[in-house]
């Protein structure tokens, strides 16, 4: 089957092109809206087929954009595909292109080909937000050539990488061990910032706005600047004001350029201001802009929605996140199931979870024609169990079974967590037996939830009993569970017991505790003057290839440790025969800071010859050539500066 026939087959299977022309308010910006209508040369099998089109209907992808995505995903990109896509005319809008790029973000090559196609064939002008999205899509080892080409194109068109995009991509490069590209991006961004700072009008405007309360004087000074305003310029000012934390002043500028300069905002600038206003202090202005957008026929693009929704969730503005989700689900560019799941999890993680918000999201998802997934059932079950509404949670479990999803470790772990939270510990333990009877074998995460629940309830000894029962069933423990148990001991001030458990787990089960676990127990041991035990853990850290953790030892030795303690500490600090000169320096300085000069001298005499004669050490004792000179005075203030 050739490419064209495959596309027609996809269209018939989807039966999704009974679509009407999207109404949209006129825009003076060619980037905002382009309309393209069916060509007379379109093949008759497409134009006349009642299965595909009504008698006088236009093909409009924007009403069902997922159909267009499916066509692109199900076919290799080629000249034939481009030709056939050209026959499926659709209104090219900023929101539509952003939606498609987000849907294609797992296939950078197709995303890039699609964007090049709409630019070339549809005369579409990308925005800075679109370029930023493409950079994030290209930020992987296989697409670096396209990544740097896109950066070059951005710069040529006067667009710049904003701080958020830079940090996100730089982090991706570091995580992928792409150090060369991370360094190159850092240098490029640094040069860009430097170049922008020299005579950049957007920065000048944002600085003027930042320094004064918005009012007549600010507006007068802005008018005197005789600004030439474009989409890019407005976005630059908005981003500058966002990054320095002035959302309301950004809103004032946004309104002012329309009111005083006659600038007509479009979908790009509306989406730009929404990214600025999604803060608690500017939430009223945020929703007013949303309403204004709706009134003139613009929509929130999918990338903007995701960024704003994640931000709302991060700062716990969940009600606004839910209202925004409902708004998007009522529009053309619906969030994916993944975004629904992320929002539901955020609601479930709140304390206490808001069931009204939860069911509003689920209701919107189902109203769009979707069925509940296993994840959605689990989130509802989790919230009910967390609230102690176990009968309702059981009903959800039954509904989940009826839908073809069997309860698993996640489902049972949530029930165990809820029972432990309500201090129904015996029932929580019985869930383990019930799981096994159903053929669902508890994994390490389920046991960890059970043991942590006992620890949080103050029943550390019962938690140990659960741990022993787990070990009898040959479940391998891990560093997370060990950390849970140790924190249980520490919550009851059983520091030495925590130390003993840690040693046993390392010796008996060859555990490799987290670095943070070692640090915490060391600090607690030194707080109870158990120096030898803390030193033992420092040695074990070294065996596990963790970096040294000298700070709490410095404090302990300087205040109450002996010279012998200092010697033993220095021996334990290095894998070599002797630690570095700087390690000796720190110990001497801590002694000096506490006024313990005689101990510092005694330690000096116990040091190896090359340390005693080192210029840095001699300098501490006041003589470059001898060890008997006047001790240099140190205070806590001078030590911290050193």
pLDDT tens track for 122-158:
888 898 889 999 999 999 999 999 999 999 998 888 8
Q: Which residue has the tokens 């210029």?
A: 615
Q: Please tell me the least confidently modeled range out of 57-61, 227-231, 366-370.
A: 57-61
Question: Helix, strand, coil proportions of the chain in percent (round to 5)?
Answer: 70, 0, 30
Q: What is the rounded average pLDDT of the residues 531-551?
A: 93
Q: What is the rounded average pLDDT of the residues 42-58?
A: 30
Any bridge partners for residue 33, and if so which? 93
Its pTM surpasses 0.85: no
Residue 602 sits at φ, ψ, to 5 deg, of -60, -40
Question: What domains, with CATH codes, occur in the chain?
Answer: 65-198 (1.25.40.10), 549-624 (no CATH)
pLDDT of 203? 86
The Cα 245–Cα 276 span in angstroms is 9
Residues 22, 62: contact at Cβ < 8 Å?
yes
Residues 403, 370: contact at Cβ < 8 Å?
no
pLDDT of 54? 29
* Per-residue tokens: 476: 């391998």
Number of helical (H) and strand (E) elements in the chain, helices listed first? 37, 2
CB atoms within 10 A of CB 222: 18
Residues 7, 84: contact at Cβ < 8 Å?
yes
* Per-residue pLDDT band at 232 (split at 50, 70, 90): confident
* Per-residue pLDDT band at 428 (split at 50, 70, 90): very high
pLDDT of 64? 62
Of 592, 594, 590, nearest to 551 by C-alpha is 590
Per-residue pLDDT of 306-340, as tens digits, reads 999 999 999 999 999 999 999 999 998 999 999 99
Residues 393, 384: contact at Cβ < 8 Å?
yes
The Cα 99–Cα 96 span in angstroms is 5
Residue 187 has pLDDT above 80, yes or no: yes
pLDDT of 75? 87
The number of residues making up the chain comes to 642
């Amino acid at each position: 089957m050739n490419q064209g026939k495959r596309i027609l087959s996809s269209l018939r299977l989807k039966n999704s092109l009974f679509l009407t022309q999207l109404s949209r308010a006129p825009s003076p910006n060619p980037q905002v809206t382009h309309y393209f209508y069916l060509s007379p040369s379109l093949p008759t099998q497409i134009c006349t087929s009642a299965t595909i089109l009504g008698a006088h209907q236009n093909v409009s992808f924007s009403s069902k954009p997922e159909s267009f995505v499916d066509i692109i995903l199900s076919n290799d990109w080629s000249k034939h595909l481009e030709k056939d896509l050209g026959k499926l005319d659709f209104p090219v809008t900023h929101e539509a292109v952003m939606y498609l790029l987000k849907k294609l973000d797992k296939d950078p090559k197709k995303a890039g080909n699609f964007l090049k196609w709409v630019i070339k064939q549809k005369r579409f002008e990308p925005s800075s937000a679109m370029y930023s999205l493409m950079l994030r899509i290209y930020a992987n080892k296989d697409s670096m050539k396209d990544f740097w080409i896109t950066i070059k194109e951005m710069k040529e068109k006067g667009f710049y990488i904003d701080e958020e995009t830079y940090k996100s991509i730089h982090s991706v490069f570091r995580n992928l061990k792409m150090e060369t590209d991370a360094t190159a991006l850092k240098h490029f961004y640094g040069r860009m910032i430097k170049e922008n700072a020299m005579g950049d009008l957007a920065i000048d405007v944002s600085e003027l706005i930042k320094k004064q309360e918005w009012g007549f004087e600010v507006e007068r000074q802005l008018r005197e600047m005789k600004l030439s305003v474009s989409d890019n310029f407005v976005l630059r000012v908005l981003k500058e004001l966002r990054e320095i934390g002035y959302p309301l002043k950004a809103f004032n500028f946004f309104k002012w350029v329309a009111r005083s300069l006659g600038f007509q905002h479009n979908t790009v600038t509306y989406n730009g201001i929404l990214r600025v206003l999604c803060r608690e202090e500017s939430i009223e202005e945020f929703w007013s802009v949303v309403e204004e957008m709706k009134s003139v026929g613009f929509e929130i693009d999918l990338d903007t929605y995701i960024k704003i929704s994640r931000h709302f969730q991060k700062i716990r503005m969940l009600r606004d996140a839910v209202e925004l989700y409902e708004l998007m689900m009522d529009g053309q560019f619906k969030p994916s199931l993944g975004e629904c799941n992320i929002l539901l999890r955020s609601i479930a993680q709140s304390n206490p979870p808001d069931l009204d918000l939860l069911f509003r999201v689920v209701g919107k998802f189902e109203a769009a024609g979707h069925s509940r997934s296993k994840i959605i059932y689990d989130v509802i079950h989790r919230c009910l169990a967390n609230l102690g509404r176990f009968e309702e949670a059981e009903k959800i479990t039954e509904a989940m079974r009826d839908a073809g999803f069997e309860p698993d470790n996640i489902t049972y772990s949530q029930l165990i967590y809820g029972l432990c939270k309500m201090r129904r510990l015996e029932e929580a333990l019985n869930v383990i037996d019930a799981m096994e009877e159903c053929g669902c074998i508890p994994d390490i995460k389920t046991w960890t939830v059970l043991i942590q629940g006992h620890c949080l309830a103050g029943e550390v000894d019962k938690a140990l009993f659960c741990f022993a029962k787990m070990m009898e069933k040959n479940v391998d423990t891990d560093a997370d569970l060990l950390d849970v148990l140790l924190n249980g001991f520490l919550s009851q001030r059983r520091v030495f017991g925590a130390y003993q458990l840690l040693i046993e787990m390392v010796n008996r089960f060859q555990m490799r505790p987290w670095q943070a676990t070692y640090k915490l127990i060391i600090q607690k041991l030194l707080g109870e003057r158990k120096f030898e035990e803390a030193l033992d853990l420092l040695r074990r850290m070294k065996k596990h290839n963790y970096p040294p953790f000298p700070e709490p030892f410095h404090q302990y030795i300087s205040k109450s440790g002996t010279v012998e303690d200092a010697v033993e500490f220095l021996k334990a600090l290095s894998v070599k025969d002797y630690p570095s000169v700087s390690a000796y320096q720190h110990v001497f300085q801590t002694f000096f800071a506490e006024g313990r000069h005689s101990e510092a001298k005694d330690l000096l005499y116990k040091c190896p010859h090359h340390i005693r004669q080192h210029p840095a050490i001699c300098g501490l004792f006041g003589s470059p050539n001898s060890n008997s000179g006047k001790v240099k005075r140190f205070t806590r203030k001078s030590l911290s500066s050193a």
